Amino acid sequence: MAVPFPDPASDSEAPARLLAEAAARDNAASGASGAPAMTVSQLSAAIKRAVEDGFGRVRVRGELSGTKRAASGHFYACLKDDNALIDMVMWKGQAGRLAFRPEDGIEVIATGKLTTYPGRSKYQLVVESLEVAGEGALMLLFEKLKARLGAEGLFDRERKYDRLPFLPRTIGVVTSPTGAVIRDILHRLADRCPTHVIVWPVLVQGEGAAAQVAAAIRGFDALEPGGPIPSPDLVIVARGGGSIEDLWAFNEEVVVRAIADCRIPTISAVGHETDVTLADYAADVRAPTPTAAAEMAVPVRAELMTQLATWRGRMLGAANRHQGLAGERLTALARHLPRREALYAPQRQRLDDAGDRLDRCQRHRLAVVAERLASRSAA
């Protein structure tokens, strides 16, 4: 006998009451002693149909308890409040797309269908989507994640670079390719110091955003120097401002671990100055805005040229001063050297003496030869 169910919102006990009334009418009509006996499976199936037909799609708010992810990938937990508890299950496909990691004590809103599990004679909620209930619950989850990942040392200063590259040749940017963020970064880089930029396009919020951001960071880290795509000297992870829900992808464990493991210096530029994400704690440097990240990444080209011109002038001035001092020292040393005339005078005198002796010797020799010739002629 089919029994119509009223709106469950008006009477939370309607299915059970109507089932009891239907059973009573059936027993009265046919006689309890003569009614055919139902098998356990038949009764369970009837209850399952009654529950599923009586309740359509529902949204339930409660606190997670007994969270467990099975080897199959399905997610099991209980939703509870101060007075009641209901089991819930989330199948592998939906559980794999969760935007956060469910943990005990987190208040959530579960959306799905109510059904029964005949194997244990209990009803449960088959959840299609699960979201954190409110900013307070998100902040509680944020603090739990921060404490757990911090205890692993992912935020330690020793894991980070002390300074960013002064003048990176290539900068990798992980952000949405269509938002204002990438335009602001490219515009600021072009104004300050034109640099080769590689943009890895990703979703920055919603389903699958965290996985895409983590994959992009690991992708940049895997690039080899000298390859067809140059390995960046610096990576910027950027997103514009928004609510804590909008920024939640950058609080996901997969993103935090990707940033912490990245061998390339990383700047986190997620949200506005007052927004804080776990990506900020894992990155080497946190920028208050994406534009500020571009300013941190490169110096101002005009200032560099001015500085180079200043250094060139100082070098030339130092060289000229050194040359002038060296000239003065050379002049001073030259004053202490003997004059050329003084150095040559003794040698000139000896040369004159030698010349005189040579002349006398020649005249004496000529006189002797002349006497010999004269004596031979007389003989």
Asked which of 10-14, 72-76, 166-170, 318-322 is least confident by mean pLDDT, the reply is 10-14
Summarised one tens digit per residue, pLDDT across range 339-364 is: 777 778 888 888 888 988 898 898 88
How many whole angstroms separate alpha carbon 12 and alpha carbon 9? 6
Q: What is the pTM of this model?
A: 0.61
The pLDDT of residue 321 is 94
Q: Which of 159, 58, 72 is nearest to 114 (CA)?
A: 58
The DSSP output letter for 230 is P
Q: Does the structure show a pLDDT above 60 at 29?
A: no
pLDDT averaged over every residue in the chain: 85
Mean per-residue pLDDT for 92-118?
82
- Give the type of residue at 299: P
Burial bucket for residue 291 (CB in 10 Å: 0-12, 13-18, 19+): middle
Q: Does the structure show a pLDDT above 80 at 63?
A: yes
The pLDDT of residue 278 is 94
Taking only Cα atoms into account, the Rg of the chain, rounded to an integer number of angstroms, comes to 47
**DSSP character string of 155-170:** T-GGGS-SS--SS-SE
Alpha helices (H) along 152-284: 180-192, 209-222, 253-261, 278-282
The pLDDT of residue 4 is 41
Asked which of 91-100, 109-118, 226-235 is least confident by mean pLDDT, the reply is 91-100
Residues contacting residue 48 through CB under 8 Å, at least 6 positions apart: 115, 116, 118
Residue-wise over 30-62: b if at least 16 C-beta within 10 A, else e? eeeeeeeeeeeeeebeebeebbbebbeeeebeb
Q: Which domains does the chain have, with CATH numbers?
A: 40-138 (2.40.50.140), 167-301 (3.40.50.261)
Provide the 3-class DSSP secondary structure of residue 335.
helix
**pLDDT range class, residue 94, cuts 50, 70, 90:** confident
